[in-house]
Structure 1
Amino acid sequence: MGTALHLCVSFNPAQGRKCKYEAQSVRALPIRILSVGKKRSRGLQLMVDEYVDKLRYYCSVEDVQIRPNPQNARDQRAQVDAEDEAVMNLIRSDDWVVMLDERGQDIGSEQMAELVGDAGNTGASRLSFCIGGPYGHGRKMRERANLSIKLSSLVLNHQIALLVLVEQLYRSWTILKGQKYHH
């Protein structure tokens, strides 16, 4: 929404690998991750928690799980619509919304860091990342998202996508702060 809709969309790979914000002061927006999916395995949750804890050194982070198919719809379209509604109820008008989607903009780690840096300049009060359910995102989310990105050219299970996202957000902050990445 607004004029900042195309931030981070026109990356030029020929520009090299440096992030434009590296080691500069960046406004740290709170991050909220909204993911639709079944109960996570203990192993996955431990890994997600590890990266979320590392990320909290830089900004506040909220990991919100949304039950898939909240209305137990038999129809795939109805399931997506119900999940869409559940996610939209958690998004505020002043959120900067990034939708994870296999058809989204293909970005690298430096560009993810720029996305985080750019979001701090939008006037938004929170940066929300949305991971859809088994059948993807609904129409309302597609219309609301400020940006759509993909984490891989491979189609990722939503739980793997979540793990990749939190790891890349942590990596983004180490890039923004000009710090060494610690595994």
Structure 2
Amino acid sequence: MQINILTVGNLKEKYLRDACAEYLKRLQAYAKFTVTEVEEEKKGTAIIRKQKEGERILKKLASDTYVIVLAIEGKDFSSDQFAAKINQLGTYGNSHLTFVIGGSDGLSPEVIQKADLKLSFSKMTFPHQLMRVFLLEQIYRGFKIIRGENYHK
């Protein structure tokens, strides 16, 4: 399985970079991972920033990937349900997944329209940089569940 995390901006804080690096190291046993960062737009209104970031995201989306966007209005899963979804996608021909994390203003409507699945972690708003850690942890947990391996609860 090939999984790409496509995200706006880079990780500025060392503790977030360290956490992501640790999960990416652990995940190497389960799938091939890449992280693609697009530039965070600094100028203009929130709508303009989302639009410009969305254009950058769309240029990086492969045509053969199953697109999962992180969105508050998306479907929420338990960890077991999320693991089952990853397993189902891999089993039934969607072995290339791209998870998209928007910037601080969210995702443009054009990016959301490209989604095969909208995924919500919560109705709360979280910093987009922290969401990268949350996402990697849940993907890791999902693979542990799929394989029946122990993982702390």
Equivalent residue for 2:96?
126
Equivalent residue for 1:175?
145
Identity score, percent: 29
The ranges of structure 1 where at least 4 consecutive aligned residues each deviate by more than 6 angstroms after the TM superposition are: none
Higher Rg of the two aligned structures: 1
- Quick check: which one's strand share is greater? 2
CA-CA distance at 1:96 after TM superposition: 0.4
TM-score in terms of structure 1 length: 0.78
Name the CA shift for 1:38/1:51 in 2 (closer, same or farther; >3 Å): closer
1:34·1:128 contact (CA, 8 Å) conserved in 2?
yes
User: In structure 2, which of residues 36, 53, 64 is the aligned counterpart of residue 83 of structure 1?
Assistant: 53
Other structure's SS at 2:60 match:
coil
Partner Cα distance (2:83, 2:2) in 1: 15
Equivalent residue for 1:49?
21
TM-score in terms of structure 2 length: 0.93
1:94·1:125 contact (CA, 8 Å) conserved in 2?
no
What pairs up with 1:14-29 in 2 under 5 angstroms? 29=1
Equivalent residue for 1:154?
124
Partner Cα distance (2:82, 2:7) in 1: 19
CA-CA distance at 1:114 after TM superposition: 1.4
Equivalent residue for 1:23?
none
What pairs up with 1:109-148 in 2 under 5 angstroms? 109-148=79-118
Q: CA RMSD in A?
A: 1.6
CA-CA distance at 1:154 after TM superposition: 2.1
Q: Which amino acid aligns with 1:169?
A: I
Q: Which amino acid aligns with 1:152?
A: S
Partner Cα distance (1:125, 1:131) in 2: 19
What pairs up with 1:29-108 in 2 under 5 angstroms? 29-69=1-41, 72-108=42-78
Name the CA shift for 1:95/1:168 in 2 (closer, same or farther; >3 Å): same
Aligned length: 153
